[in-house]
Amino acid sequence: MAPEIDSFILYLATERGLSSNYQLSVRRTLETLADWSQKNNHAAWRDLGVQELSNFLAHQKSRDLEASSLRICVVHLKIFFRFLVSRRYLEADPADPLLAPKTASHLPETLHTQHIVTLLNSIDITAHLGRRDLAILELFYASGLRLTEICKCRLETLDLDDGFIRVTGKGNKTRIVPVGDRALEAIDDYLVNERPDLINPKKPLPSEIFLSIRGGALSPDRVRQIVKQRAAQAGIEQNVYPHLLRHSFATHLLEGGADLRVIQELLGHADIATTQIYTHVDQKRLNKIHKDFHPRA
């Protein structure tokens, strides 16, 4: 079963241009299926029908996988078996009838505006790495970038004069995102007064904007640590993580009257339905205001 998996992953990388993280996620699903199949005496993909795939999903559910993870698993199976049929490995698609489980809708967490102010104002830029960390947090909140997008930001993608940054997001899709004045000031201060000291003269000049103390690009795990540490130092008890700043960016834009289509473009969502979850957050706020202030609420 391995050759078909390898062929499909190569297809995702070269023809679909999907990210390495997505490729890894798909590979995990398919290798888990292959392992389960062999343990259940199914030696090849043609041995799997709708019932076998349903049994596999039931097995995954018995391992306490959440509905959201099972939905992703179903998507992986559908696109893989569709590929096998298109390349004539199989005559019929056994995954086509599969139905993805419904997931409960969870409203995204956000930080209150005052907590954002507290977080950003708490960073001492005269302390070691203060300018870098402030620039990272300001950019997160000013532009709503994903964690991986922050880590991959390069000097040539940033336009300090016009206040824009070019970002390559999911599916290798590029978008232009405006950067607020406060974030631009913080980034400029960091580039002039701190980044040069982080460059390792023994290594090639890095093009990434945000550098580690060793002069290389910051890893996602390290940026996640920075966000959590800075929030704890600011005395914020809420669990603060990079995506929370992205949610806060979108929610605060909507509360300020921004058009949902504009927010979709800024976030890099392919589907407006993904962005619409923020309308529920705003409705919740409006309901609270109505109940608090309307005499007959």
| Residues with a known catalytic role | 146, 170, 243, 246, 269, 278
> Which string of b and e fits 189-217 if b means at least 16 CB within 10 Å?
bbbeebbeebeeeeeeebebbbbbeebeb
- DSSP for residue 167: E
The stretches of the chain forming alpha helices (DSSP H) are 2-14, 20-39, 50-62, 67-86, 113-121, 130-143, 147-152, 181-193, 195-198, 220-233, 242-255, 260-267, 272-275, 277-293
For residues 269 and 275, the answer to whether their CB atoms sit within 8 Å is: yes
Q: Shortest CA distance to 253 belongs to which of 186, 178, 197, 192?
A: 178
For residues 136 and 146, the answer to whether their CB atoms sit within 8 Å is: no
Residues 70 and 59: their CA atoms lie apart, in Å, by: 11
